[in-house]
Chain A
Amino acid sequence: MSLSLTLLTDIQDQAAQSTAYDSIWAGGAVPTQEYSGLEQVMLAHDKLYVVLAVVLIIWFGIVILLLRNDARLKAVERTIEERGIRSDDGL
């Protein structure tokens, strides 16, 4: 009885001290399993690699857009070359 009471006060204390974000989690039964290999990597150094992953996603997104833009531009350039349009034809 006294043990469960202590536990309850502990949880309440945690909830009172915690910041806004974890108030949802504190006291609730969060199903936590062993961290998988990927999670162990991503959570290292206080989750810094999550930020790296986000920056890399944006970077590769920009790279993909850049390559697609290049392909479009190349198609237009090819049309111009095939038709032999010169620069004084109004282009």
Chain B
Amino acid sequence: MTAEAQRRRAFWHILLFAAGLVVLTVISAGSVYLVNKARDDSKWVLHTIEVENQVNTLLLEVRRAESSARGFLLTQGPDFQADHERAIAAIIPALDKLTRQIGDSPAQRDSVEKLSAAIEVRLGQFAREMDFVKQGQLDNAKALVREAAAGNTTTTISNLANAMIREEERLFRLRSANADRSQTLAASLTGIGSGLVVVLALISIWLLRRSARMRDEAETRLRDAYANLEALVDERTADLREANNEIQRFAYIVSHDLRSPLVNIMGFTSELEELGGDIFRRVSSLTHVPADGPPLPSGEIALEGPDKQLSEDFSEALGFIKSSIAKMDRLISAILNLTREGRREFQPEKIDIREFVEAIVSTLAHQAVEAQAEIHVEPLPDIVSDRLALEQIFSNLIDNAIKYLKNGVPGEIRIRGRTKLGYAIFEISDNGRGIDARDHQRIFDLFRRAGTQDKPGQGIGLAHVRALVRRLGGTMSVSSELNAGSTFTITLPVAWNATTRKTDR
């Protein structure tokens, strides 16, 4: 999957999340607002009912006052009088309450003013009526009642009250409708919001599933690639191993078969040397027959002039041939040994490296003393590896360190070790003559050497050491500067397992 597609998907995820958040916020705010509004509307509806109620209460009290006044007029009973007084007493507070309640509506305020005026008139009539009855002027009282009936005061009151109730009923309908609308709105808002959230959730789930599927596919592809890679690596490893074995066999056969003619060359050169000796002895005996005295002791050749020159040339030629043969023999032996090392099966075993290195150092003690070198062995980690191979590695490196010290400078050779991530790292450092940076690769090549060639050697040691280190599953490197000492670093697995690099032959 491309990075572009990944970015786009992440963008969509964020967008979805943001949209969800916005929807939720809007729904919450809207719901809170609408619920508040609905509560408000309900309050108003309730208020309307209360006002209606109050109007009815007022009307009831007026009627009660009227009927009790009439009762009193008819019977002059104190019960009616008390009842009337209670009703009268209730009217004014009821009216006040109503006035307070309808403060919100100007139309109702007008009605209330008219109503209270009418009630005041009626209350005045009541007072006069009651006074007449109390004073026994019943006729006057009756006349007043008739007058009141003619003046239609009560009807006016009840008309006004009914008008108010009708107004309140209108308000009630209006406010109920409002409350209904608010509630419907709240419900639809919640419904729509929930729907949106569900839709967003579904989209999210879809996106998630899609990305999970893509991840699974990618994983499968990765696994396949891994399997392929492993097969490829196995194949290549087998090829390389085959090639390596081929080279080993080739080197072995070549060096082995080269040795055969060399045996003849060396053997017959020796024969020639013997022959040459015989010939020149004969020449000498022929040219130097002493007239008197004893013959020359056999084996001694006394030649003069050109004969001596010939004999010397002959010896010199043979000398060159023999030294070249000896060199060639050493080189062939070296190749043979290297190929043999390449074919030897390693035996991994646990080795106390410090003890092991100290044993090697003690065998090199004589050379170290001769070279005025001190060898310090620091604590070294133990590893599992092949003893013989390690011996060759360490003795070669320490031997080199002793061999290539600076003339006249006391040598100091240090062997250090540490472990890191399953590997043991050993460092063999010296204060010797060092190696020029351009020779760092060369010194590991077979038969190649660097620096002043004042020490005996074939140029085999380091090539051999590196081959061994590699076979032991490790690596090897050098860091050095000319005249500033060298440090050879070997990295070997702490627990080497022969099966990890089995040579299949």
A and B interact: no
Q: Which residue numbers of A lie inside 8 Å of B, CB to CB?
A: none
